């Protein structure tokens, strides 16, 4: 094997095949192992991608001598134990969102990674979209002036059909959250663009109450939320309104709209399955209703999430994009939204704890 290449293993081969594709696209990375709970699935994936070693036990992956990092795409309920074991073995870790099923578990992962001095990243890869980065630059440079209002929508129909099979994504123990996990990119977007959240009020709903569990041969309760409507106020005082659903028939889009004292910006992703088809409209209203375009300074292509993770392993001066710090932040907001919905009250979030090291290579504000 070429030791000039980083050796990476992927844990989970459902959505994890996207991780494999992202990693194998990098010239300086080699995927050396795959792991999944189902032996037939992991063997087939290994054959498809030309990976020599596959197993159903992640401990066997971590026992490999030539292994620099792991990419975790297993169900969220497994993230903590796999990540902690990998970190204890000195491996760098990139992990799917949500980072864990609770903020405490995610913070434990963050603390362990910091103590071990390994590179850690959370897969908030919607940050990779060129138009998303342009919007971030507009906000970063103050092109919209004092920001007043932000509206966030993500409407999809992938769980709208009551005949959708029951999976781990319906389980609170394995998934932690429903749309607040699947669509937690929106919560990361708040943190990335606007900074910490100060308080929230929310209404969470389970719309499709049951799904068919083929292994049990019966209907099984959906234990997580299918929709979330919320108001959030950032620590800086920006008013944010969000609406997320995975049960909106015929809908598949994301939209972010920002209004400030100098102008507006609207980012639309019309089909979540083709996230690169985006539009960004921004400007300020001039005389006679004329809209003048706003422009931020251009930035270099930041690369993909996995590309930046690999680069940060080689050079600690490289920013990973979203680190475990950002994964913890999103889960803190998710838990506050759930608490608000259950109590019917506003929930205040305490200031985020200071973390040494991570912020230096994260894009978080």
pLDDT in tens, 163-181: 889 999 999 999 999 999 9
Cα distance between residue 185 and residue 98, in whole Å: 9
∠ CA 84-18-45, nearest 5°, is 90
Which of 248, 273, 293 is where one domain is finished? Answer: 293
Give the pLDDT mean for 335-344. Answer: 98
Report the number of distinct structural domains present in the chain: 2
The pLDDT value recorded for residue 56 is 97
Using one digit for the tens of pLDDT, what is the confidence trace for 36-60? 999 999 999 999 999 999 999 999 9
Nearest to 12 by CA among 55, 52, 68: 55
Residues 266, 357, single domain; the answer is no
CATH number of domain containing 84: 3.40.50.720
Nearest to 97 by CA among 271, 334, 356: 334
Antiparallel, parallel or unpaired: β 239-245 and 147-155: parallel
Residues 180, 315, single domain; the answer is no
Q: Which residues of 295-328 are buried (b: 16+ CB within 10 A; e: fewer)?
A: ebeeeeebebbbbbbbbbbeeeebbbbbbbbbbb
Residues 149, 269, single domain; the answer is yes
Nearest to 309 by CA among 28, 84, 14, 103: 28
Residues 105, 243, single domain; the answer is no
Residues 142, 272, single domain; the answer is yes
> Around 164, how many Cα atoms within 13 Å sit in the side-chain half-sphere?
19
Residues 141, 263, single domain; the answer is yes
Kind and range of the H or E element at 42?
A: helix 39-49
**132 φ/ψ angles, rounded to the nearest 5 degrees:** -65, -40
Quote the domain boundaries for residue 162: 128-293
270: helix, coil or strand? Answer: coil
Indicate whether 23 pLDDT > 70.
yes
Residue 343 lies in a domain: no
Using one digit for the tens of pLDDT, what is the confidence trace for 129-158? 888 999 999 999 999 999 999 999 999 998
Residue 331 lies in a domain: no
The pLDDT value recorded for residue 269 is 87
Residues 114, 186, single domain; the answer is no
| pTM for this prediction | 0.92
Using one digit for the tens of pLDDT, what is the confidence trace for 309-318? 999 999 989 9
- Contact assessment for residue 22 and residue 304, using Cβ atoms and an 8 Å cutoff: yes
Question: For a pLDDT cut of 90, what percent of the chain falls above it?
Answer: 76
Residue 233 lies in a domain: yes
Residues 107, 135, single domain; the answer is no
| Sign of the torsion angle spanned by Cα atoms 349, 352, 235, 261 | negative
Residue 330 lies in a domain: no
Residues 75, 197, single domain; the answer is no
Residues 272, 258, single domain; the answer is yes
Residues 189, 226, single domain; the answer is yes
**35 φ/ψ angles, rounded to the nearest 5 degrees:** -140, 135
- Contact assessment for residue 234 and residue 240, using Cβ atoms and an 8 Å cutoff: yes
- Contact assessment for residue 168 and residue 223, using Cβ atoms and an 8 Å cutoff: no
Residue 288 lies in a domain: yes
Residues 279, 308, single domain; the answer is no
Indicate whether 359 pLDDT > 50.
no
């Amino acid at each position: 094997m070429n030791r000039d290449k980083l050796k990476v293993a992927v844990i989970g081969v459902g959505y994890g095949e996207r991780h494999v594709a992202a990693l194998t696209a990098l010239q300086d990375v080699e995927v050396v192992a795959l792991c999944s709970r189902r032996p037939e699935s992991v063997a087939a994936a290994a054959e498809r991608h030309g990976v020599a070693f596959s197993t159903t036990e992640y401990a066997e992956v971590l026992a490999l001598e030539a292994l620099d990092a792991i990419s975790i795409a297993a169900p969220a309920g497994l993230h903590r134990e796999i990540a902690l074991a990998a970190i204890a073995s000195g491996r760098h870790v990139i992990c799917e969102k949500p980072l864990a099923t609770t903020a405490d578990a995610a913070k434990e992962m963050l603390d362990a990674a910091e103590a071990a001095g390994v590179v850690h990243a959370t897969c908030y890869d919607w940050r990779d979209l060129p138009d998303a980065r342009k919007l971030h630059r507009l906000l970063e440079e103050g092109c919209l002036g004092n920001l007043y209002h932000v509206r966030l929508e993500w409407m999809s129909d992938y769980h709208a059909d009551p005949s959708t099979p029951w999976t781990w994504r319906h389980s609170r123990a394995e998934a932690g959250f429903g749309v607040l996990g699947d669509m937690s990119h929106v919560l990361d977007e708040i943190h990335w663009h606007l900074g910490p959240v100060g308080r929230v009020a929310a209404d969470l709903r389970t719309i499709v109450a049951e799904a068919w569990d083929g292994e049990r041969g019966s209907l099984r309760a959906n234990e997580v939320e299918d929709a979330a409507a919320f108001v959030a106020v950032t620590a800086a005082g920006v008013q944010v309104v969000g609406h997320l659903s995975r049960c909106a028939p015929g809908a598949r889009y994301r939209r972010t709209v920002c209004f400030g004292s100098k102008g507006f910006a609207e980012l639309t992703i019309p089909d979540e399955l083709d996230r690169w088809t985006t539009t960004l409209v921004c400007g300020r209203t001039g005389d006679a209703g004329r809209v003048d375009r706003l422009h931020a300074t251009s930035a270099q292509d930041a690369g993909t999430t996995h590309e930046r993770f690999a680069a940060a392993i080689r050079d600690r001066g490289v920013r990973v994009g979203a680190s475990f710090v950002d994964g913890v932040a999103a889960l803190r907001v998710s838990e506050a939204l759930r608490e608000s919905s259950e109590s019917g009250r506003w929930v205040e979030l305490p200031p985020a704890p200071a973390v040494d090291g991570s912020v230096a290579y994260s894009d978080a504000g």
